[in-house]
């Protein structure tokens, strides 16, 4: 089964698609959907929606995984802006009848690294190790999206079907 992980953001929405192949996990595609603050908000969310809808249409994932919203009380605007992009991701999922899964950030980190308080660098190194890719220079948005997809595999029965994780 293919899993699409999304790290939603209004400026940059990261995505990563993984699948199980011959007992291991393989990166199918990863990248970003970018908008600019110079664009009107309706154009920005339309671009994100079309990008995610296109990914779903092209790769036919069995599930889409998002990190649950977390916002520090000192930065409510961040959550509001992220909410715009999350909303259109959820809409694309609903329109395409793809199961939508949400995990808290600490749960994703724990599933991927074994530590719910892991740093971005630790998550990046584990994503790199698990998928056997060179993640240096890859945007955090992409690494976070891949980590969400990997966490879903490790926390569900899909993990036993695809990977014997003995790291």
Instruction: Name the catalytic one among 29, 39, 67, 95.
Output: 67
**67 assigned to active site:** yes
- Angle at alpha carbon of residue 96, lines to 65 and 37, rounded to 5°: 65
Instruction: For residues 138 and 151, give the distance between their C-alpha atoms in angstroms, rounded to a whole number.
Output: 19
For the question of residue 7 being annotated catalytic, the response is: yes
Q: Give the integer Cα–Cα distance in Å for 91 and 113.
A: 30
Contacts of 150 (CB under 8 A, 6+ apart): 5, 18, 25, 111, 112, 127, 130, 131
Find the catalytic residue in 121, 134, 141, 144.
Answer: 141
- Give me the phi and psi of 97, to 5 degrees please: 55, 45
Report helix, strand or coil for 19.
Answer: strand
- What are φ and ψ of residue 29, in 5° steps? -165, 150
Residues that are catalytic: 7, 67, 141
């Amino acid at each position: 089964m293919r899993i699409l992980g999304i790290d939603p953001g209004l400026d940059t929405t990261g995505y990563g698609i993984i699948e199980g192949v011959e007992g291991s996990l393989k990166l199918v595609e990863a990248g970003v959907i970018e908008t600019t603050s110079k664009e009107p908000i309706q154009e920005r969310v339309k671009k994100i929606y079309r990008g995610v809808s296109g990914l779903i249409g092209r790769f036919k994932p069995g599930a889409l995984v998002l990190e649950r919203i977390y916002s520090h009380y000192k930065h409510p605007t961040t959550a509001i802006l992220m909410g715009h992009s999350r909303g259109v991701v959820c809409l694309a999922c609903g329109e395409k009848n793809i199961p939508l899964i949400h995990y808290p950030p600490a749960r994703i980190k724990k599933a991927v690294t074994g530590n719910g308080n892991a740093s971005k660098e630790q998550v990046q190194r584990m994503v790199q190790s698990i998928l056997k890719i060179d993640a240096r220079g890859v945007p955090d948005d992409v690494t976070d999206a891949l980590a969400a997809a990997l966490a879903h595999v490790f926390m569900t029965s899909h993990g036993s079907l695809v990977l014997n994780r003995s790291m």
